């Protein structure tokens, strides 16, 4: 017992080593947001109850939900013709839910990676799906361009950022039909004209909050066009009519997302996030391009500013590089199991110093 006490005492006296978290998700959140969540878990809004044990119908949490919905419209500069929902089931449930609500005859999709492929598969259960553009021919290493979208589609679906392959849409096509976008991994990372989209969905756990809730932003006039019977829980109208609280919402995930959205506003909004993310991405891509040990995996013009994917020229050095990274407090850079290599995910909350640490590691590894 004496030895155990001595070990615990010694451990408590040690300063925690900084870990640079490049995980693709669940992803990094600002320290102040985590601190606010800890406080709310202990005593939420002066109730002397934990956030996760108060009634979601109580005035304190209703205020949280109302603000969490409104702040999205404020940041995106959207009017009352849009509704904001916090749902459960992840973006994967949205693959089928959006098709169930919107697909009457046929829809147009672009296939730019794993998640787009999954969305296409689910939509085909509800109608005809035309893949009007794809980058599968080159292992999803670029964003297809120059395609046209006919006016007889019920909607057009795209994925703004491809977490696994490391590509990102820099521009969106002119579209004469409702445009639906999966923004799971780059939501709130840059300035966009969000009025060009009729439905946006995003799992929170990449760049918005912890796992457990999914954001859906929807223009109300695109609903009510299909003839099929939609199950209650999968009908957007159900959740709109109840302010995202038809059933018990994921209270912790909604609260944490609100704290994170407040943090974005406090730092200067989307313009500041874009500047911050551009600086980080340019620093890392510059090292990849100049260091002879490494190479990027995607078309330069389509490189993601959220998920940087790269390889070692000599794959025999992979394990050594990962071990060196771990020893340097760099976590989460191993590439997705389906593609290998390395992936550095640099969401809003990541500071420039973490990217600088990775770049310095790469320089040292070359030496």
DSSP structural state of residue 55: -
For residues 259 and 68, the answer to whether their CB atoms sit within 8 Å is no
Q: Would you say residue 22 lies in a domain?
A: no
Q: Would you say residue 320 lies in a domain?
A: yes
Q: Would you say residue 319 lies in a domain?
A: yes
H or E segment to which residue 308 belongs? strand 307-312
Burial of 17 (0-12, 13-18, 19+ CB in 10 A): exposed
Residues 208 and 328 reside in one and the same domain: no
pLDDT in tens, the chain (367 residues): 445 454 344 334 434 478 999 999 999 999 999 999 999 999 999 999 999 999 999 999 999 999 999 999 999 999 999 999 999 999 999 999 999 999 999 999 999 999 999 999 999 999 999 999 999 999 999 999 999 999 999 999 999 999 999 999 999 999 999 999 999 999 999 999 999 999 999 999 999 999 999 999 999 999 999 999 999 999 999 999 999 999 999 999 999 999 999 999 999 999 999 999 999 999 999 999 999 999 999 999 999 999 999 999 999 999 999 999 999 999 999 998 878 899 999 999 999 999 999 999 999 998 8
Residues 289 and 164 reside in one and the same domain: no
Active site residues per annotation: 115, 182, 206
Q: Would you say residue 18 lies in a domain?
A: no
Residues 242 and 301 reside in one and the same domain: no
Residues 75 and 223 reside in one and the same domain: yes
Q: Would you say residue 210 lies in a domain?
A: yes
Count of domains for the chain: 2
Q: Would you say residue 333 lies in a domain?
A: yes
Residues 244 and 274 reside in one and the same domain: no
Distance CA 9, CA 14 (A): 9
Using the 3D structure, point to which of 213, 246, 266 is the last residue of a domain: 266
Residues 240 and 329 reside in one and the same domain: no
Residues 128 and 184 reside in one and the same domain: yes
Q: Would you say residue 3 lies in a domain?
A: no
Q: Would you say residue 130 lies in a domain?
A: yes
CATH number of the domain to which 313 belongs: 3.90.1150.10
Which DSSP string corresponds to 95-127?
HHHHHHHH-SSEEEEEE-SHHHHHHHHHHTTTS
* Cα 34 versus chain centre, distance: 18
Residues 255 and 359 reside in one and the same domain: no
Using the 3D structure, point to which of 210, 234, 266 is the last residue of a domain: 266
Residues 219 and 279 reside in one and the same domain: no
Using the 3D structure, point to which of 266, 282, 299 is the last residue of a domain: 266
Q: Is the pTM of this model over 0.85?
A: yes
* Residue 58 φ/ψ, nearest 5 degrees: -70, 155
Domain that holds residue 201: 34-266
Residues 124 and 216 reside in one and the same domain: yes
CATH number of the domain to which 75 belongs: 3.40.640.10
Residues 76 and 152 reside in one and the same domain: yes
Residues 254 and 134 reside in one and the same domain: yes
């Amino acid at each position: 017992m004496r030895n155990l006490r001595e070990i615990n005492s010694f451990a408590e006296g040690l300063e925690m080593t900084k870990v640079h978290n490049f995980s693709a998700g669940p992803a990094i959140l600002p320290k102040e947001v985590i601190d606010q969540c800890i406080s709310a878990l202990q005593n939420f809004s002066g109730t002397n109850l934990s956030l996760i044990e108060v009634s979601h119908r109580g005035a304190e949490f209703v205020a949280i939900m109302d603000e969490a919905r409104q702040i999205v419209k404020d940041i995106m500069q959207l009017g009352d013709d849009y509704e904001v929902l916090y749902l459960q089931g992840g973006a994967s449930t949205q693959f089928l839910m959006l098709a169930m609500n919107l697909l009457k005859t046929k829809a147009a999709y672009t296939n730019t990676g794993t998640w787009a492929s999954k969305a296409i598969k689910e939509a085909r259960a509800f109608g005809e799906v035309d893949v009007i553009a794809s980058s599968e021919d080159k292992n999803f290493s670029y964003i297809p361009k120059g395609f046209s979208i006919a006016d007889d589609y019920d909607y057009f679906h795209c994925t703004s950022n491809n977490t696994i392959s490391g590509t990102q849409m820099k521009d969106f096509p002119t579209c004469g039909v409702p445009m639906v976008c999966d923004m799971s991994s780059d939501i709130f990372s840059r300035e966009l004209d969000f009025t060009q989209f009729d439905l946006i969905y995003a799992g929170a756990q990449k760049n918005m909050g912890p796992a457990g809730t999914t954001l859906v932003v929807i223009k109300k006039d695109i609903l009510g066009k299909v003839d099929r019977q939609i199950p209650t829980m999968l009908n957007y109208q159900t959740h709109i009519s109840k302010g995202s609280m038809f059933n018990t919402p994921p209270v912790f995930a909604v609260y944490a997302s609100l704290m994170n959205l407040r943090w974005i506003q406090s730092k200067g909004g989307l313009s500041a996030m874009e500047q911050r993310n551009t600086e980080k991405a340019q620093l890392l891509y510059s090292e990849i391009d100049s260091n002879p040990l490494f190479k990027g995996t995607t078309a330069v013009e389509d490189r993601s500013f959220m998920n940087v994917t790269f390889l070692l020229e000599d794959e025999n050095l992979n394990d050594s590089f990962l071990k060196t990274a771990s020893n340097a407090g760099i976590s989460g850079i191993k590439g997705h199991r389906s593609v290998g290599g390395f992936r550095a995910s640099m969401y809003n909350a990541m500071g420039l110093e973490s990217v600088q640490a990775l770049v310095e590691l790469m320089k040292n590894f070359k030496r």
